[in-house]
Amino acid sequence: MADQNEEMRKFKRRHLIYYLEVFDDKTGTLLGYLVDLTVNGLKLISKEKIPADKDFRLRMMMPEEYCPERQVIFEAHSMWCAGDVNPDFYATGFSAPELDQNIRRIFMIMINQVGFND
């Protein structure tokens, strides 16, 4: 399983200086806050456990200083969910390999503009 996860993560995740809100677009429920991002996936932290191996339609609110779009909506698949370093939270990894070009462009802007340099 670890080899498969390493193979699937071809792009290094970038920690962001903003914790952007991410919602389940179908229910309107706040799922959590974005902490890591690539053009193929993301990681959220949340108060509630998010089921693994489930398809989601996610809506992410974007910071107006860096992105003309106020929100982006895209399909993602929850790959895993585990307790976070902070025991009050959960961390969930999502795969989103089918992003359209516009959303990939927006994600690249976010990675380049608000990602920590590491």
Distances from the Cα of 22 to the Cαs of 6, 10, 11, 34, 54, in angstroms?
25, 23, 21, 7, 16
- Our count of domains for the chain comes to 1
Domain residues for 82? Answer: 2-114
Round to whole Å and give the CA distance between 3 and 9. 10
Q: Are 116 and 110 in contact (CB under 8 A)?
A: no
CATH of the domain at 7: 2.40.10.220
pTM for the predicted model, two decimal places: 0.79
pLDDT tens digits, 87-118:
999 999 999 989 999 999 888 888 777 654 44
